[in-house]
A and B are shown apart, each in its own frame.
Chain A
Amino acid sequence: MRRAASAGLRAAPRRRPLSARRLGASAWSASPGRAAAAEDPEETKRMNLFSAVNDAMRIALLTDESAVVFGEDVAFGGVFRCSVGLREEFGPERVFNTPLCEQGIAGFAIGYAAMGRTAVAEMQFADYIFPAFDQIVNEAAKYRYRSGAQFNCGSLTFRAPCGAVGHGGHYHSQSPEAYFAGTPGLKIVMPRSPREAKGLLLASIRDPNPVVFFEPKILYRAAVEDVPVGDYEIPLGVADIVRPGTHVTVVGYGGQMRVLEEAVRLAEEEHGISCELIDLRTVLPWDRELVCESVQKTGRLVVSHEAPVTGGFAGEISAAVQEDCFLSLEAPVQRVCGLDTPFPLVHEKHYLPNVIKVVEGIKKVAEY
């Protein structure tokens, strides 16, 4: 792994999102500048999601000497092991602990990035990103616009573990993406797997806009797959057709994709309903075109996320789809989401939009 990453040493790219879309799950691309002869571009390694995140940050630090990684407890490797080994490899000036203060982490990251340098800041849990809400929404998101593009903090990325974890209760389970989705200037990304996480995180770190990168913490250890060892990016703003289908379009992102994959499999096997499953990947700005193309084909839509339904991002998707696909829709759009309660501890199983709730939603639109 180290050999391959070292071989990828090069100036940090500032690449546009690739036009190579619609390639399904394999829509990743090797970054330019790799020493192609020195390694097998297809070489992969088994990684879980935290290793993939770690690998992405290592490559970011290797390929961009201005890059720094910081937050609460990142120096010893992070409470989820995402930054393990990085301080030893890159030194305490580039991988360091901050005081326990999210608004400070965010403000510091903005100032560092506003000097044209790359900041990868960690919020220990997405639940604790709210003290930094002002810095992210009023400052980071508007830095370029308000200065007439004289200044920007585009080279910053906020990473935050998010989502249900089985026993996280109110403050170790939240999915706050919709709060940020109403903020022009931000990009919001949530990967579904290790391979996706590495490519999307590298793209986020190198994207010339501030990115909030939510990592489904339940996948940190649970999801394991073959991940390319080299330097590659998955373009932001481009959704992914995880599984093609004809009867119902099912849209989600992040940790919920595991639930949706199981639900569409059951819908097919037990009810004969063919679902087209789409991973949004980027929540803002989202791939409206791909989702609407799919709904125009299937005529039916189920949107699902862990966050509460009211004000959740499924509402935005539903409204946009009825606007663009009104004549194609055969059934009302179904939102299968978290309940409008704080995230509960003992009743987590009942709260979550689990597999059987999603299958019910799929059946409902299919049989409408």
Chain B
Amino acid sequence: SPQKSPQNLAAAAAAAAAGAGGDERAYPGGVQLPYTKTLQLVDPQAAEKWPVYRVLGLEGQVLAGAAEPDLDEETARKMYRTLVRLQAMDVIFYSAQRQGRISFYMTSTGEEATHVGSAAALDAGDVMFAQYREAGTLMYRGFTLQQFADHCFSNEGDLGKGRQMPVHYGCEALNFHTISSPLATQIPQAVGAGYALKQKGGDNISVVYFGEGAASEGDFHAALNFSATLEVPMIFFCRNNGYAISTPVKDQYRGDGIVARAPGYGVTAIRVDGNDALAVYQAVAEARAYALANNRPVLIEAMTYRIGHHSTSDDSTRYRSVNEIQDWATHDEPGFRFRTWLEGKGWWNEAEETAARQEERMAVLKAMETAENKGPPPLDSLFEDVYEEMPPNLARQKRELLEHVQRHPEFYEKPHH
């Protein structure tokens, strides 16, 4: 082979003898690589940890040396109001599931700042792909409590026609692609969507949310690599809340979290305090501008803590201590930090707080009551949208089922929960 020809070896030796010219080489797999004569394994544990970018302290004060974001009062209030609404919805829908009124639910408790902080920094035309614990981003965009409730109650008002489990929201009008249960599948999809946005030539990016557990899936690897090689303007937003159901991060990975993986893919990255709405807002705003200006992806790892159970099917005290949960809930609660900052600006006060909590609680209860009184989607819709058109096998099965149901009304009229 040419690499081993005597001429090449001689040239290499000559170059080495000449000094600098022989200290590096352009490998096809590694651009211009330096040589070393020091035998040294690289231990990632010895590397410096990625710092966590923050603006607000635990008491809601802007930290010395931190830059307060360029955030107007209206946006800031909308962010906080969304956070309050999300917390009200979570509390009430969670108990509705415990009472058997809905089949399933997942709260966002402790992670609200990642939702409202990121959503506020994005453009309404940016295309969102979510995992399932990002309801606040959709809420910020204008998805109504009635729409949330109609979905969770699987009624005729559900945009998803009652086909998916609760919390699998989606809204075309709000550029929020419908959530699906398989983890991480949305990550490479967001890359494809971002590529489409780049080709359209507009000023929008795609944004994809996922947890640190989902980042262990092969689709995470696929997506990061594709986004870099295909030069896609997008944001990867990882919510690192410490647990994937019962699995703590020490069983999930051994590197420095998710952010440390980004450089390996050639992806720009930042780690941020996920309980600091201002830091999240700034990081996302900066990442968005960078992605658009450079047609390159950015990964954001937001460090946070899952205060709630994984879902209504999970009792998290079986694998973590109540003290640990309480510590986060009392000392690093994102709503408290953001609210204190707002009050310091004179943009919020105790009276507004009381009123907002009450209003949102009543609004959730009303949406839930309305949702409960709506009927299910029509049975015909079971067969629709499998394909754009209805193929003969489905038309046949539809006819057979409808005839069967007519023969056994007493069986099918019973509640199916």
Contact = CB atoms under 8 A, between A and B. Distances in A.
A184 B229 contact: no
B101 to A, nearest CB: 22
A19 interface: no
A97 B365 CA distance: 52
5 contacts: A103-B222, A110-B192, A113-B192, A146-B168, A208-B389
A147 B223 contact: no
B386 A184 contact: yes
A187 B391 CA distance: 11
Nearest to A116: B196
Chain B interface category by residue count:
35 or more
Contacts of B392: 237, 285, 288-289
Interface stretch (A22-30, A134-142, A167-175, A301-309): A134-142
A42 to B, nearest CB: 31
B199 A117 contact: yes
B340 interface: no
Interface stretch (B18-26, B59-67, B179-187): B179-187
Given A98-B229, A104-B226, A151-B170, A144 B385 contact: yes
A253 B222 CA distance: 33
B192 A112 contact: yes
Contacts of B389: 16, 208
B276 to A, nearest CB: 30
A78 to B, nearest CB: 18
Contacts of B180: 138-139, 142, 146
Interface of B: 127, 129, 158-161, 163-164, 168, 170-172, 177-178, 180, 182, 185, 187-197, 199-200, 206, 218-219, 221-223, 225-226, 229-230, 384-389, 391-394
Interface string A252-279: 0000000000000000000000000000
A351 to B, nearest CB: 31
A104 B225 contact: yes
| B182, B187, B192, B219 — most chain A CB neighbours (10 Å) | B192
B230 to A, nearest CB: 7
A110 B188 CA distance: 9
Given A145-B386, A152-B388, A135 B185 contact: yes
Contacts of A143: 178
B187 to A, nearest CB: 7
A367 interface: no
A119 interface: yes
A103 B192 contact: no
| B159, B172, B223, B226 — most chain A CB neighbours (10 Å) | B226
Given A114-B192, A138-B180, A151-B178, 18 more contacts: A98-B226, A104-B191, A104-B219, A104-B225, A104-B226, A107-B219, A108-B222, A115-B196, A119-B192, A135-B188, A138-B185, A139-B189, A147-B160, A150-B170, A151-B172, A185-B387, A187-B387, A209-B387
Contacts of B386: 144-145, 184-185
B171 A150 contact: yes
Nearest to A145: B385
B60 to A, nearest CB: 38
A32 interface: no
Nearest to B173: A150
Interface in A1-31: 16
Contacts of A152: 388
A208 B385 CA distance: 11
B385 A108 contact: no
Interface string A118-155: 01000000000001001100110011111111111010
B230 A107 contact: no
Nearest to B179: A146
Given A96-B230, A114-B177, A138-B182, A148 B219 contact: no
Contacts of A131: 218
| A111, A115, A144 — most chain B CB neighbours (10 Å) | A111
Given A104-B222, A288-B393, A144 B192 contact: no
Interface residues of A, number: 49
Nearest to B206: A111
Interface in A21-60: none
Given A99-B225, A114-B192, A150 B187 contact: no
Contact of B185 (A66, A107, A119, A285): A107
A109 interface: yes
A138 B187 CA distance: 14
A101 interface: yes
List the 7 shortest-distance A-B pairs measured between CB atoms, nearest first.
A111-B192, A107-B188, A104-B222, A111-B189, A147-B178, A112-B192, A115-B196
Contact of B222 (A96, A101, A116): A101
A285 B383 CA distance: 14
Contacts of A117: 196, 199
A210 to B, nearest CB: 9
B192 A108 contact: yes
B158 A111 contact: no
A110 B387 contact: no
A144 B199 CA distance: 23
Contact of A148 (B161, B187, B225, B393): B161
Contacts of A134: 182, 185
A104 B188 contact: yes
Contacts of B195: 108, 111-112
A245 to B, nearest CB: 24
Contacts of A148: 158-161, 163, 170, 178, 385
A300 B386 CA distance: 33
B185 A139 contact: yes
Interface in A185-237: 185, 187, 208-209, 237
B356 to A, nearest CB: 31
B127 A107 contact: no
Nearest to A138: B182
B333 to A, nearest CB: 34
A74 B182 CA distance: 29
A8 B185 CA distance: 37
A359 to B, nearest CB: 32
Contacts of A138: 180, 182, 185
B222 A209 contact: no
A66 B177 CA distance: 20
Contacts of B170: 146-148, 150-151
